[in-house]
């Protein structure tokens, strides 16, 4: 039998087997595709922790399968196809670069549910998207950075020029600038999600420029490890708490708390309430947590950071509140205006005051 017929036969079998989704299921096979290793200490570590929370919540009602370090591209499509053919009822694809592969495979397996993290394409009714408002945590980090820098030079290690990362850079800079008009931001593009050597080199490049506060939008602990080598340099945990560096350079962290979302979505399959959604929660929804702020942060700065966290959670403060201009000086947000979600999700510009260009 030709391969295409094998795929078609398997897909039909899955459609028949999955026809009871609307009525609920006795058992769910939940599968996860990771861009890095589960031991990265950051992004993938947190997604895997979420998967384990699903297992803890439902026990024998759920089977968990995962694959680590899957490249974004053709390999992802192959892995997703294998998972769908292997009986996965729901597949979580946990990196932006899986977007096209997720939608391509979803078209072939209409009764398998696909959930794509940080993407925006929902080309088929069995594809949902979910994200977290990381920019809220970047605002808090920026406030701390602006207050604590001694050199007035702060840095940001960026992964890829996508809206999620650009949002973080802008939020970090805006809030540092609010409390320190002399602050300057340097951005290093690593063009990787997980490569400890590149991440360490990026951190070293920033430190060599005189940067003494480093934020990172990559997945490993390497930037903190590099910061720990230089007295007076501080940084932030990214995606995970990275608590091992609390006695060193880490002064707080953004923690991606995916577990509640994963538990809810698998539970919806079990009880028959599952439907396509586009989720984007932040501090208020509990998907973005702010890790413990250490005693390295002065008490007044800590109190201000915690007050900002609480105001964001309460909905009384939005990190992108005007007046804000774009990098070229053209107006973006007027006084008191907050950024529409559509502007943020398509963000492809720096705000005024950031030098350099966004890579194409």
How confident is the model over 280-294, as a mean pLDDT? 97
DSSP of 13-69, one letter per residue? HHHHHTTTGGG--S-EEEEEE-SS-TTSSSHHHHHHHHHHHHHHHHGGGEEEEEE-S
**Domains of the chain, residue spans:** 3-132+258-281, 134-248+289-345
Round to whole Å and give the CA distance between 57 and 265. Answer: 12
What's the confidence (pLDDT) of residue 13? 39
What's the confidence (pLDDT) of residue 81? 98
Instruction: Say yes or no to pLDDT of 335 above 50.
Output: yes
Overall size of the chain counted in residues: 360
DSSP of 178-247, one letter per residue? HH-TT-EEEEEE---SS-HHHHHHHHHHHHHTT--EEEE-SSSSHHHHHHTTSTT-EEEEEES--GGGTT
Instruction: Say yes or no to pLDDT of 18 above 90.
Output: no
3-132+258-281 and 134-248+289-345, same CATH topology? yes
Q: At what angle do helices 74-85 and 99-108 cross, to 10 degrees?
A: 40
Above pLDDT 90, what percent of the chain?
Answer: 92
What's the confidence (pLDDT) of residue 73? 85
For the chain, what is the mean pLDDT? 93
Above pLDDT 70, what percent of the chain?
Answer: 94
Tokens of residue 282, six digits: 């932040």
Q: For residue range 112-162, what is the model confidence (pLDDT) as tens digits? A: 999 999 999 999 999 999 999 999 999 999 999 999 999 999 999 999 999
Round to whole Å and give the CA distance between 211 and 157. Answer: 12
CATH number of 134-248+289-345: 3.40.50.2300
Phi, psi torsion values for 291, nearest 5 degrees: -65, 165
- The CATH number of 3-132+258-281, from 3.40.50.2300, 3.40.462.10, 1.10.287.610, 1.10.620.20, is 3.40.50.2300
Name the helix (H) or strand (E) containing 136: helix 134-148
**Beta-bridge mates of residue 90:** 30, 113
CA distances from 135 to 8, 167, 215, 221, 274 (A): 43, 6, 12, 20, 28
End-to-end Cα separation, the chain, in angstroms: 45
What's the confidence (pLDDT) of residue 6? 35
Q: For residue range 44-98, what is the model confidence (pLDDT) as tens digits? A: 999 999 999 999 999 999 999 999 999 998 899 999 999 999 999 999 999 999 9
The reported pTM is 0.90
What's the confidence (pLDDT) of residue 22? 57
Q: For residue range 198-218, what is the model confidence (pLDDT) as tens digits? A: 999 999 999 999 999 999 999
Instruction: Say yes or no to pLDDT of 188 above 60.
Output: yes
Round to whole Å and give the CA distance between 42 and 192. Answer: 14
Decide if 61 contacts 26 (C-beta within 8 A): yes
Decide if 332 contacts 324 (C-beta within 8 A): yes
Q: For residue range 235-263, what is the model confidence (pLDDT) as tens digits? A: 999 999 999 999 999 999 999 999 999 99
Tokens of residue 238, six digits: 């990214």
pLDDT confidence tier of residue 11, bands split at 50, 70 and 90: very low
Q: Is 152 helix (H, G, I), strand (E, B) or coil?
A: coil
pLDDT confidence tier of residue 23, bands split at 50, 70 and 90: confident
């Amino acid at each position: 039998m030709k391969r295409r017929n094998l795929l078609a036969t398997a897909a039909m079998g899955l459609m028949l087997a999955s026809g009871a989704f609307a009525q609920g299921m006795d058992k769910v096979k939940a599968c996860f595709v990771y861009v890095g290793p589960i031991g990265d200490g950051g992004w993938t570590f947190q997604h895997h922790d979420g998967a384990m929370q699903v297992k803890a919540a439902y026990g024998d009602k759920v089977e968990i399968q995962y694959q680590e370090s899957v490249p974004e591209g053709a390999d992802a499509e192959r892995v997703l196809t294998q998972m769908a053919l292997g009986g996965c009822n729901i597949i979580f694809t946990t990196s932006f670069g899986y977007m096209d592969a997720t939608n391509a495979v979803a078209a072939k397996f209409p009764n398998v549910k696909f959930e794509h993290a940080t993407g925006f394409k929902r080309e088929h009714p069995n594809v949902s998207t979910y994200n977290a408002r990381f920019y809220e945590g970047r605002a808090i980090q920026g406030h701390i950075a602006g207050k604590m820098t001694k050199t007035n030079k702060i840095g940001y290690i960026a992964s890829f020029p996508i809206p999620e990362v650009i949002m973080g850079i802008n939020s970090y800079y805006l809030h540092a600038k609010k409390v320190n008009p002399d602050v300057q931001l340097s951005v290093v593009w690593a063009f990787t999600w997980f490569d400890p050597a590149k991440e360490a080199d990026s951190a070293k490049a920033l430190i060599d420029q005189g940067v003494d506060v480093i934020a990172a939008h990559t997945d490993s602990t390497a930037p903190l490890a590099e910061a720990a080598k230089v007295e007076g340099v501080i940084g932030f945990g990214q995606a995970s708490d990275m608590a091992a560096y609390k006695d060193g350079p880490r002064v707080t962290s953004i923690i991606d708390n995916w577990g509640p979302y994963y538990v809810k979505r698998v539970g919806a399959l079990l009880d028959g309430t599952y439907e396509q959604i586009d989720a984007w929660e932040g501090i208020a929804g509990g998907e973005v947590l702010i890790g413990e702020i250490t005693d390295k942060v002065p008490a007044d700065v800590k109190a201000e950071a915690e007050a900002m966290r609480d105001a964001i959670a309460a909905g009384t403060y939005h990190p992108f509140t005007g007046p804000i201009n774009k990098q070229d000086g053209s107006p973006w947000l007027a006084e008191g205006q907050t950024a529409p979600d559509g502007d943020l999700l398509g963000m492809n510009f720096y705000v005024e005051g950031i030098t350099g260009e966004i890579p194409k």
